[in-house]
Amino acid sequence: MNEHPYDRLTPDAVISAVESAGYRCDARLLALNSYENRVYQVGIEDEVPLVAKFYRPQRWTEAQIREEHSFSFELRDADISVVAPLVDAHGDSLHCYDDFLFALFTRRGGYPPELDNPDNLIVLGRTLGRIHSVGRAKAFEYRPTMTVQRMLADSREFLLAHFIPTSLEPAYSSLTADLLAIVTDVFGEVPPQSMIRVHGDCHVGNILWRDDCAHFVDLDDCCMAPAMQDLWMFLSGERHDKQLQLSELIEGYSEFCDFEPRQLRWLESLRTMRLVHYAAWLGRRWQDPAFPHSFTWFNTERYWAEHILELREQMSALQEEPLQLL
């Protein structure tokens, strides 16, 4: 296997990078569960440990990362619970060591929110409402915009070219072509004013729950997208369950930000795009040794058969009536 850029990020390199930012490390190093980037808890002499995040080379430009940081500072300055990067004595939050761009964060403890707890959902809704009220203030200049082309069409073409087994290619190609047509039609309804700055990757792994407060971390996927992008991943189970969860979320959300009911029609299209894009994300990262090691179930005949079944279920969901606000 060809050498991957992260192969150069040895423990000594991590410590040297953090010390280049003005800290004295005590050699304690703990790799945290992160695959897109490399993230470490680093011990600091006579201080609490820091979290060092090394951005994946060539994924984001420096301008895009700085805009991510700027967004997190806006949210922090609005007293919203986000974990923003630390700023050095020169006012800089982004550092470079041996061609690796990295940022440092305070360590924050917590556990995932309970999505079957109505009180947790109301708090999540309130926090997202506050995030989106800031997100609406202006547009990103450098961060990407969520599009059907980027999320679904490009991902589909990549998988067909490199990963879908020959025996499943006709089924996958036909099914995803139909999904692409439906999602393109639905997403064509999204007006420009509904595209706002969002977190972009709101799953429970990116939320630390502590003291009845939701602390949002990892704005690595922040982008321009509909508000629903940050809401739909908290909905699970049967339709009745999703309906109740949605009601709690929007009850909290609406205290700080108006919600457009028409966005409920976009929910399943957003889910469809993520399903295909996630499979393509794994495929695009397959040359990174961390991925085959951690995602052993990916790229097997069984995985692709189950993926097609999941997409067929998604086709049915797209044809159902959208959820309604109670």
3 state DSSP class of 29: strand
Question: Residues 7, 88, 218, 241: which is the catalytic one?
Answer: 218
The alpha carbon dihedral of 113, 119, 124, 130 has a sign of negative
Question: Per-residue DSSP letters for 192-239?
Answer: GGG-EEE-S---GGGEEEETTEEEE---TT-EEE-GGGGTGGG--SSH
Residue 176 is inside which H or E element, if any? helix 169-187
258 given a catalytic annotation: no
Indicate which residue of 99, 154, 178, 201 is catalytic: 201
Q: Where are the beta strands (DSSP E) in the chain?
A: 25-31, 38-44, 50-54, 95-97, 100-106, 196-198, 207-210, 213-216, 223-225
Residue 88 falls in the annotated catalytic set = no
Between CA 91 and CA 150, with CA 67 as vertex, the angle to 5 degrees is 160
Could you give the residue numbers annotated as active site? 201, 218
